[in-house]
Amino acid sequence: MECKLLQVTNVSFAYDKHLVLNDVSFELASGGLLGILGPNGSGKTTLLRLLGGLLCPTTGQVVLDGSDLDSIPKAGLAKRMAMVPQETYLAFDYSVLEVALMGRYPHLQTFEVEGPEDVELARAALTETGTADLEQRSFMTLSGGEKQRVVIASALAQFGRRAADAGRRPSEVLLLDEPTASLDLGYQLDIASTIRRLNKDRSTAVVVSTHDLNFATSVCDHVVLLRQGCVLAAGPIHKILRPDTVKDLYDVDVVVEQHAVAGHLTITPLARRATDAPDGH
């Protein structure tokens, strides 16, 4: 019964002459939890931006729910696809509620002001990420973990539907770029549990790009391994994340085992592999 929500077919992308992604293909099922793994510079962020419709592929297609991403109007897309960047820096000082309310933008008409429903939906999103009591705080004074959760709430606010919204609720996709980079352990666990809960309660499909293997294993059920813009492997996590694939990805010898207490795979690095093979593919 798995319908393919997101299909990436033969996507290549180049910034001017520099090829960043080369013939990438994979799929995301509705309600799936996908991790894009790879070392720094493998093109993960670019891929995520392509998935979010922020960039157009040089060749190939990204299809969401049967429609090419290009053909979906921006506001409509924003109601069902949200992206959480690695870091959010505000140029000016907004309150947490104001930041959450920014997620309501795609739902408002040109000169429409946020109504009580929108405020409720923003508040609900804050509650979902456990930041409701920070509502009146200035965003810039929050800690890194709190900021991330507020930004996630702002993204969730994009999905909120008003009573007047007609039709079936569209499948939602949440994209997160390195959500745990520069966060300490406690916040990493918070984010992981938030993601899992969203996925379970709302059936939100989640795509996480990360270089932290253990974070990926705690959250994702499918992975795509990306190295220097090419897909090394893609598929269910237990099948794909093996010592030999991790070795290909990171040039590191690891041990992969299912952790009895944590309930998911853990990957322990052992030693760096000497690269005697020529670099690249």
Using rule CB under 8 A, residue 141 touches other proteins: yes
Using rule CB under 8 A, residue 238 touches other proteins: no
Which residue, among 210, 173, 203, has the nearest Cα to 83 in the 3D structure? 173
Which residue, among 142, 129, 148, 52, has the nearest Cα to 93 in the 3D structure? 142
CB of 172 to other proteins, least distance (A): 13
Q: Which residues are CB-neighbours of 159 under 8 A, at least 6 positions away? A: 79, 80, 82, 172, 202, 204
Q: Which of 3, 54, 255, 262 binds other proteins (CB under 8 A)?
A: 54
The span from the CA of 99 to the CA of 138, in Å, is 10
Pick the stretch among 30-38, 83-91, 207-215, 227-235 that binds other proteins (CB under 8 A): 83-91
Using rule CB under 8 A, residue 58 touches other proteins: no
Give me the phi and psi of 279, to 5 degrees please: -70, 155
Question: Tokens at residue 213, please?
Answer: 């293997």
Burial of 177 (0-12, 13-18, 19+ CB in 10 A): buried
Pick the stretch among 20-28, 99-107, 226-234, 242-250 that binds other proteins (CB under 8 A): 99-107
Pick the stretch among 36-44, 133-141, 203-211, 238-246 that binds other proteins (CB under 8 A): 133-141
Q: Which of 11, 20, 82, 156 binds other proteins (CB under 8 A)?
A: 82
Which residues form the interface with other proteins (CB under 8 A)?
Answer: 16, 49, 52-54, 74-75, 77-79, 81-83, 85, 88-99, 102-103, 105-106, 108, 110, 112-116, 119, 123, 127, 130, 132-139, 141, 151, 155, 158
